[in-house]
């Protein structure tokens, strides 16, 4: 056990939390070091395995983050923005790698991660999959190659329980497109159309969010000009791709210099 990396999982009762548990247990380089849930949740104080309907794992679910991370070398966090900021402070104090898959964070909230990143490795990404991160790089390159004659639209589809829009992945793709064009996304983002909106503004990057059923995640980047269209697409059919990517990030971060990283760094795709 001491030769493997201890992983603490926040929001452990959720779909992603439970998938992360399975991935950690199956990986020969990791072990479960903590299982954290919000105060008042009916899993708190019970064996994690029993809660998940499997054999006891000898690990109690806790609502005390300090207790949950005390033996961990990495924290994997797919929760909510406010909770993630609290976990970032605790991870920094413990010098544990903090893998953040939380979406819906504002620019102001993201900026407040900087003090924590001075003391610990933070890997934050809107999407942890290899395919999406390749798509991000392709989006940046295509956007750089095409001028404003090509409108850019990012269309994302997710299940009907997703609470934020556009998705973190869609925003990541939008940032890549804007970077490719040498502009700030905040200056060209078009996120809402309803009623008489007028003609589309040249150079804008549009977002469309679809919610329905049990869609895991689908993202299209559409480049549309007069007479032709280019569509870059990624479809996730299994949430385990995100869990595996997060675990890869947790292991990659061990021994790294404190700072903020993303999945492009983890996957060796960063251009920096």
Active site residues: 158, 162
Would you state the torsion angle of the CA atoms of residues 48, 51, 53, 57, taken in this order, to the nearest 10 degrees? 20
Contact of 120 with 97, CB cutoff 8 Å: yes
Give the span between the Cα atoms of 71 and 97, in whole angstroms. Answer: 12
Contact of 41 with 17, CB cutoff 8 Å: no
Phi, psi (5° rounding) for residue 152? -115, 125
What's the chain's length in residues?
272
Other beta carbons within 10 angstroms of residue 200's beta carbon come to: 13
The DSSP secondary structure of 31-78, one letter per residue, reads: EEEEEE--TT-TTTTSBHHHHHTSS--S-B-BS-HHHHHTT-SEEEE-
Pairing of strands 121-124, 74-77: unpaired
DSSP 255: T
CA-to-CA separations, 249 to 2, 46, 129, 195, 246, in angstroms, rounded: 20, 28, 11, 43, 5
Other beta carbons within 10 angstroms of residue 272's beta carbon come to: 4
Tokens of 261: 């990283």
């Amino acid at each position: 056990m001491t030769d493997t990396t201890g992983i603490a999982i926040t929001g452990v009762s959720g779909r992603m939390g439970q998938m992360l548990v399975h991935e950690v247990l199956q990986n020969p380089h990791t072990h479960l070091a903590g299982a954290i849930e919000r105060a008042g949740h009916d899993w708190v104080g019970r064996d994690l395995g029993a809660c998940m309907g499997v054999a006891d794992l000898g690990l109690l679910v806790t609502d005390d983050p300090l207790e949950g991370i005390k033996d961990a070398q990495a924290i994997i966090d797919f929760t909510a923005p406010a909770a993630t900021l609290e976990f970032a402070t605790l991870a920094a104090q413990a010098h544990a790698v903090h893998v953040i898959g939380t979406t819906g964070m504002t620019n102001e909230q993201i900026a407040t991660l900087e003090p924590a990143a001075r003391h610990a490795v933070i890997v934050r990404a809107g999407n942890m999959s290899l395919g999406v991160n390749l798509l991000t790089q392709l989006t940046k390159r295509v956007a750089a190659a095409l001028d404003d004659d090509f409108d850019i639209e990012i269309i994302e589809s997710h299940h009907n329980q997703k609470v934020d829009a556009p998705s973190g992945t869609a925003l990541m793709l939008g940032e890549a497109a804007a970077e490719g064009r040498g502009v700030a996304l905040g200056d060209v983002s078009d996120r809402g159309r309803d009623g008489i909106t007028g003609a589309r503004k040249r150079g804008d990057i549009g977002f469309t969010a679809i919610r329905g059923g049990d869609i895991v995640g689908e993202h299209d980047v559409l480049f549309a000009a007069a007479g032709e269209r280019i569509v870059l697409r990624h479809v996730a059919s299994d949430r385990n791709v995100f869990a595996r990517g997060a675990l890869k990030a947790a292991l990659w971060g061990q021994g790294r210099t404190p700072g903020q990283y993303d999945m492009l760094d983890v996957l060796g795709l960063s251009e920096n």
